[in-house]
Amino acid sequence: MPSRNIPSVRLRRIGSALRKAREDSGLTIDTACRRYGRSKSWLSTLENGLHSIDPQELADLLDFYKVPEGPLRESLLHLATHKPGKNWERAYEGRISAAALDLASLEDDADLIRTFGPCVVPGLLQTPAYARELMSVGPARPVRRSAALVAFRMARQKVLSCPNPARYVTVISESVLHHQVGDPDLMHAQLRRLSEAAQAENVTLRVLPNSAAAHLWLAGPFHLLSMRPPGYLTVSVVEQFTKSLFVEDEKEIALHEEIFSLLLDASLDEDASQKLIERLASRL
């Protein structure tokens, strides 16, 4: 039976992953229930994040869908043991990690995505070359692994152009536009990408000007993701040095939303932001 009237972010994450695993297996919900031996209402409410699942049964269901060992399986089993309403952490790894999978899943399920980029261009607006250059800095990793990470980041961007896309509001520090990542041609292409993205109806791009740089102390990079129904849930994903922190606590989220509003208020409007980006691009 459902344990709550609305889902938690954690249960939504598990449910959406199970729905995708079922669909990837080529099974309708009726066929899956008949073969697995559970009712359609049980699986339907589970996929919608409306009830929890015991970790052992989750492992059995993942076996049924032939989900292999790896970050996705580890992520879901971890969340199945996680208490609703509590924050959770994900370590960064030199692969498509549980942190990346969690974030991508939440983006897919979001109606509204808000991001703050104080250091680099947010991932949903990066060009492949910009992302590749970022990933070339730091601990060495095989070229094939870096290529997979770039491809995964580019795939995430489909949430902004798919049918019924998420609304995307981003605040980018002006300093990010001046930071040289790669050569001038690469930066020119990245600035053009920002200019083009800002013209989409579902995208709002605002630049926090250098004159308001005091606001940079308020927060590091973070995302606010508000989920589609059922339920109206918001989760904050805070990017830290070696991990991501997924915040579900309502009071903390309210504070993060207040900070984002302050950043928006201090930013240039959309037209002024667009003109600044285009002016900087023309100089490269």
pLDDT digits (tens, 9 = 90+) for 5-54: 445 677 877 888 899 899 999 999 999 999 999 999 999 989 888 888 89
Question: Where are the domain boundaries for CATH 1.10.260.40 in the chain?
Answer: 1-86
pTM comes to 0.75
Of 14-28, 134-148, 208-222, the poorest mean pLDDT is in 134-148
Torsion angle in degrees (nearest 10) through CA of 55, 57, 58, 59: 90
Tell me if the domain spanning 88-282 has CATH number 3.30.460.20. no
Question: Where are the domain boundaries for CATH 3.30.870.10 in the chain?
Answer: 88-282
The rounded mean pLDDT for the chain is 87
Nearest CA to 109 among 42, 32, 17, 23? 17
Tens-place pLDDT, residues 226-255: 987 665 678 899 987 777 888 878 889 999
Question: Residue 116 corresponds to which tokens in the numbers above?
Answer: 């703050």
Superfamily of domain covering 1-86 = lambda repressor-like DNA-binding domains (1.10.260.40)
Banded pLDDT at 177 (limits 50, 70, 90): very high
Banded pLDDT at 75 (limits 50, 70, 90): confident
Cis peptide before 221 (omega within 30 of 0): no
Q: What is the mean pLDDT of residues 96-107?
A: 78
The H-or-E segment that residue 281 falls in is helix 270-282
Question: Residue 174 corresponds to which tokens in the numbers above?
Answer: 């002006």
